[in-house]
Amino acid sequence: MVCLVSRSGRQMQRYNSTGGRQVVGCIPYRYKTDIDGNMSNELEVLVVSSQKGQALMFPKGGWELDESLEEAACRESLEEAGVIGIVEHELGEWSFISKRYGTYYEGHMFPLLVKEQLDIWAEKNLRTRIWMNVVEAREVCQHWWMKEALDILVDRLSPQEKNNI
């Protein structure tokens, strides 16, 4: 059973020792398939639009007290992008200033190998999701720290896979 309602509110939100909000995100990815369903080595990543605009980014949101980093990453990918998959080893941790609040946030990013894409999900009516290649995603992603996470993910790939990006 998949939950079709996003968590809301900040009562369960985690903050770091300096009072900065802790957020977790994923880079959902898959390997492109041809019309016959054959998988290639060409990597595709999924970006989503922001809730209040057309800016594109990877799914992310608050890390809550009742979940691990990996659980938060899965939840955010499900809520914002409607995808389910395997959370892999953390790409890193970044400190960045929130444009909205002007305070330092702590961001964690994970790769998510997508196994299922849902037709209906919690934020379907709030966001657009778009599969694209790495070059396109790096160009459109609005957050510098997410671009760095994408670079780390690409660097983890084998040389053969990198040649197809």
120, pLDDT greater than 60: yes
| Burial classification of residue 109, based on how many CB atoms lie within 10 Å of its CB (0-12 exposed, 13-18 middle, 19 or more buried) | buried
pLDDT band at 1 (very low <50, low <70, confident <90, very high): very low
Whole-number Å distance between alpha carbons of 159 and 141:
24
- The verdict on domain 22-159 having CATH code 3.20.20.140 is no
Q: Tell me the three state secondary structure of residue 52.
A: coil
Q: Is the pLDDT of residue 122 over 90?
A: yes
Q: Which residues contact 76 (CB under 8 A, 6 or more apart)?
A: 24, 25, 26, 59, 60, 61
Q: Enumerate residues 6+ apart whose C-beta is below 8 A from 58.
A: 25, 26, 27, 28, 45, 46, 47, 48, 109, 141, 146, 149, 150
Domain boundaries, the chain: 22-159
pTM, full prediction = 0.87
Query: How confident is residue 6, by pLDDT bands cut at 50, 70 and 90?
Result: low
**End-to-end alpha-carbon separation of the chain, Å?**
35
Q: Is the pLDDT confidence value at 9 over 80?
A: no
